Structure 1
Amino acid sequence: MTFMKKSGCLLAVCCLALLAAACSQDTKSTQPIHTSATPLPEWRSGYRIYVTNETSGDLSVIDGTTNDVLATVPLGKRPRGIHASPDQRTIYIALSGSPPAPPGVDESTLPPPDKSADGIGVFDVEQNKLLRVIQGGSDPENFDVSLDGSTLFVSNEDISSASFIEVASGKLTETIRVGEEPEGVKLSPDGKEVYVTAEADSSIAVIDIAARKLAASFKVGRRPRNIVFLPDGSRGYVNAENDGTIVLFDAVKKQKIQDIQLGKPGEIKPMGLALSPDAKKLYVSTGRGRKVFVIDTVTNQPIASFEVGQRPWGIAVSPDGKTLYTANGPSNDVSVIDIESQTVVKKIKVGASPWGVEIIGRGY
């Protein structure tokens, strides 16, 4: 993330230069350095948890029944955002060569970004193997996948844009300007629109996929990050990190409905979002707040909160709705939480700085 303000002129020049580079680069798929598969037990039922580890640059594969780490697969630099394809046979991972920029760090003192490391990794679930890296975008952190699995929608934080990338060819087919410092990307349930949060603009940009243009933009709250939709697509939720709120918005009218206050701004910083399988509850990780909040999606009020670990970020719910998982960056582990009792039943050691969590089920 970018935390230091840049001068207007410098930002404009840099953005134009980076945008030109991103659009002109060779966007064909390339073979990664690490391609060897790790044999895993036969898998016909149950589920597995996949965790990106930002600092160690790898992927932890966890058995959802035993909570054992089955494999650790090298990926590339700074793996963060992670999403499964609609058929759950492929996992995509955002990779970035830009150095981390924590709060208060002067970016001019950081090493230059390695743009050759930017891209989306393509991981085969059955082979447990990174097949290739689609080179495209600029400092990609998050993305989503079209309903037919043919296109990736990627936020480019460095250049305030979102890109359309064709999975089969690896070609970047469209780049659309959005708000400043885009991060979260979410496809609408009907697959017709892509929503992109802009941290510095406190807004959400809505892209019409068929028209390939910006259709709307609306304000939500300070430093919005991630979005989830109710299944019917009528409403959505986005976290406003610096306000300590979850914002409920109307996805039809493209406007904010209400703030759901979780705590004092600065003390509670909502990060990851995950809906229960029945969409009746929204789970929110809070980073340095160490907690997960539970929101009733009918009343839109918090109904519970409980501690889960150090700086929980990525969050996911098991297919049966009984277990919650959070990626805890500083402690290099994943918390396994029994939802009924709201207690941590185990912490699983993974790689360095776990970031994103994705779950793939079989037989559900």
Structure 2
Amino acid sequence: MMRRKINWLLTAVQIGLLTWSGTTLAADQVYVANEGADTVSVLDAASLKTLTNVHVGKMPHNVQVSPDGKLVWVTNNGEPDHAADVSAHKGMAQGDHDAMGKPGAIWAIDTATNAVVAKVPVGMHPAHVVVSPDGRLAYVTNGGDNTVTVIDTAARSHVATIPVGQFPHGLRFSPDGKEVYVANLKGGTVSVIDTASQKEVAQVPVGKGPAQTGFTPDGRLAFASLSGENAIAVIDPGTRKVIRKVAVGTVPIQLYATPDSRTLVVANQGTRKKPGSTVSLIDLERFKVAKTVVTGAGAHGVTVDREGRYAYVTNMYANSVSVLDVKDRKVTKTVPVGKVPNGISVTP
């Protein structure tokens, strides 16, 4: 009788844990910057169903969920102006951007309410935003004035402006939070920012048209997508030198390493006239493309969930988002979002 009670109790606990786990999974959300619609789409990560669209500033280019999951930071060009030419920010189709005439901003969305709760001015033509591992600081690339703005996320105020290379675009933190690698799109280099001193301490020559950077979570490798070479530069963070290049699809833009540091997911955008529609999965043990997966026209933004099972990809020219099963190496679903989806981020 006692054994039956114990078995029943264990079964009840297991069911409770499964229910709790399912609830947690259902709460995970994907955020998409729709550059041509002045919105951020909020998707349920499991079903890819659109939960809502949040109106933000002009031409939102990139989004980043904070480490605690409470805020989503969005780069844009200030208050919406429906009379403005929404095609002004179309440069990545040719591996470039047209600079905007006014300083931009980053806006913060409260993930609990999906309301905009902060608007912080930054530099000219902000592109990407990343948040430090401790959540205290946000770093924003300003392509129009060759700087990175540092924002105090709690005070929502300016901390520093850091000069970097020519036309900074994508950027990422090293896993230990001590450095930020910035892709200088027109400079052919990656700037290394020391987060303690808030200064650029090195520029690493990488190749043509570096659009985004990244790291393996174990800190062993860093990367830069070379949109002008159809390749990925692999960087040794210790020596700050390119140790090899891996050929991928046309005009690679965003990239993201899986949590186990074994696979690099690369979105190949192509150009507006000849859109790319693939994602390259690079085996980081052999430094070879293990699989090329078709997603949609203009594959641009990419992020990977915390388990490393799914990658979420924006298809700029198809106005859609695809979910890619990293283990099975296939797309499981593609859904429509807003016009010109660009940056993408998932609940950490």
TM value normalised by structure 2: 0.83
Name the SS of the counterpart of 2:144 in structure 1: helix
Alignment match, 1:128: 114
2:333 is paired with a residue of what secondary structure?
strand
Query: 2:320: which partner in 1?
Result: 333
Q: Does 1:344 align with 2:325?
A: no
Instruction: Tell me, yes or no, if structure 1 residue 190 matches structure 2 residue 172.
Output: no
Query: What is the alpha-carbon distance in structure 1 between the residues aligned to residue 157 and residue 343 of structure 2?
Result: 25
Q: Is the 8 A contact 1:186 1:195 kept in 2?
A: yes
Count of equivalent residues? 312
2:285 is aligned to: 298
Instruction: Measure the CA separation in 1 of the matches of 2:124 and 2:137.
Output: 17
Counterpart for residue 275 of structure 1:
257
State the match for 1:119 in structure 2.
105
How far has the Cα of 1:321 moved from its partner?
A: 2.8
Quote the Cα distance in structure 1 between the aligned partners of 2:132 and 2:54: 26
Per the alignment, residue 231 of structure 2 pairs with 245
CA separation of 1:307/1:171 partners in 2, compared to 1, >3 Å: closer, same or farther?
same
Distance 1:280 1:83 in 2: 23
Sequence identity (%): 28
Selected match of 1:45 from 8, 17, 25: 25
Runs of 4+, deviation exceeding 4 Å: none
Where structure 1 has 5 or more consecutive residues not aligned to the other structure, the ranges are: 1-41
Change (3 A) 1:43 1:242: same
Contact 1:135 1:170 in 2 (8 A): no
Which whole-Å CA distance do the structure 2 matches of 1:324 and 1:175 have between them?
33
- Alignment deviations for residues 172-200 of structure 1 (CA, whole Å, 9 cap, x no partner): 22112111111111111111111111111
How far off is 1:65 after superposition?
A: 2.1
Match of 1:100 in 2: 89
| Structure 2 unmatched runs, 5+ | 1-21, 79-85, 271-275
Q: Which amino acid aligns with 1:327?
A: T
1:111 deviation in Å?
10
Report the alpha carbon displacement of residue 353 of structure 1 after superposing the two structures with TM: 0.6
1:111/1:45 CA distance change after superposition, 3 Å: closer
> Paired residue for 1:54?
35
Report the RMSD for the aligned CA atoms in angstroms.
2.4
SS of 2:253's partner is: coil
For 1:92 and 1:291, the matched residues in 2 are separated by 27
Per the TM alignment, residue 101 of structure 1 is displaced from its structure 2 partner at its CA by: 4.7
CA deviations over 1:203-241 (Å, ceiling 9, x no partner): 011111212222111100101011111123232111111
Retained in 2: the 8 A contact 1:153–1:164?
yes
Q: What is residue 145 of structure 1 aligned with on the other side?
A: 131
TM-score, normalising length from structure 1? 0.80
1:339 and 1:178 map into 2 onto residues whose CA distance is 34
CA contact (8 A) 2:123 2:144 kept: no
